[in-house]
Structure 1
Amino acid sequence: MTLDPSLVLKALVALGAVVLLAFAALRALRAVAPGAAKPGARRRLSVHEVLPLDPKRRLVLVRCDGRDLLLLTGGAGDVPLGWLPADAAPGDAA
């Protein structure tokens, strides 16, 4: 049994077309996905540090617009403990 060269060529072209369509679909999904960062956009929210307290609870230091917020997560619910003073530098003893 021999393979027809034109059939092999058609199969390769079809495979290439499917791969290109899949790639284009992934790029389109990334562009419209919620939370997708736009090129050149400054990120406003970041998790700065996480400190596990026990198997369920954690302290999370979140930075939003240049300010730090301390959160207690886990347990019965998530609790914002408060915004840290803007003049407090990391490592300062309060």
Structure 2
Amino acid sequence: MTGQTVAVAVMALMGVLALIGLLARLLQAVGWRSVPRTGRSLVVRETVALDPRRRLHLIECADRQVIVLTGGGQDLVVGWVRDP
């Protein structure tokens, strides 16, 4: 490979990255977002990190809430939250 070939490849890469950056800024300025889905039946309401591996999640499923422990050797359903 000659120095000129490497320079052309680097310039082409920089051009492609610049175009991607410009497109991202344009889409952000226009406010393009994916259309949010309505009527979701499964929603993660809250997440708490217990330690670097394990997390406790409060998940709402069809008007009921469940607490799930993830990240250990296996995932575990801690229990369903009763209605107030």
What is the number of equivalent residue pairs in this alignment?
A: 50
Q: 33, 52, 60: which is aligned to 1:63?
A: 60
SS of equivalent residue, structure 1 residue 82 = strand
RMSD in angstroms over aligned alpha carbons?
1.7
Is 2:69 the counterpart of 1:72? yes
Q: Tell me how far apart the structure 2 counterparts of residues 81 and 45 of structure 1 sit (CA, whole Å).
A: 17
Equivalent position of 2:51 in the other structure:
54
Q: C-alpha offsets along residues 1-31 of structure 1, whole Å, 9 cap, x if unaligned?
A: xxxxxxxxxxxxxxxxxxxxxxxxxxxxxxx
Q: Tell me how far apart the structure 1 counterparts of residues 82 and 72 of structure 2 sit (CA, whole Å).
A: 26
Largest Rg, 1 or 2: 1
Greater length-normalized contact order (CA 8 Å, ≥ 6 residues apart): 2
Is 2:80 the counterpart of 1:86? no
Gaps spanning 5+ residues in structure 2: where?
Answer: 1-36
Q: Tell me how far apart the structure 1 counterparts of residues 66 and 77 of structure 2 sit (CA, whole Å).
A: 7
Deviation of 1:75 after TM superposition, in Å, equals 1.0
Deviation of 1:82 after TM superposition, in Å, equals 0.6
Identity of aligned residues (%): 42
Provide runs of 4+ in structure 1 moved above 3 Å. Answer: none
Greater fraction strand: 2
Gaps spanning 5+ residues in structure 1: where?
Answer: 1-36, 88-94
Q: Tell me how far apart the structure 2 counterparts of residues 57 and 42 of structure 1 sit (CA, whole Å).
A: 30
TM-score, normalised by the number of residues in structure 2 = 0.54
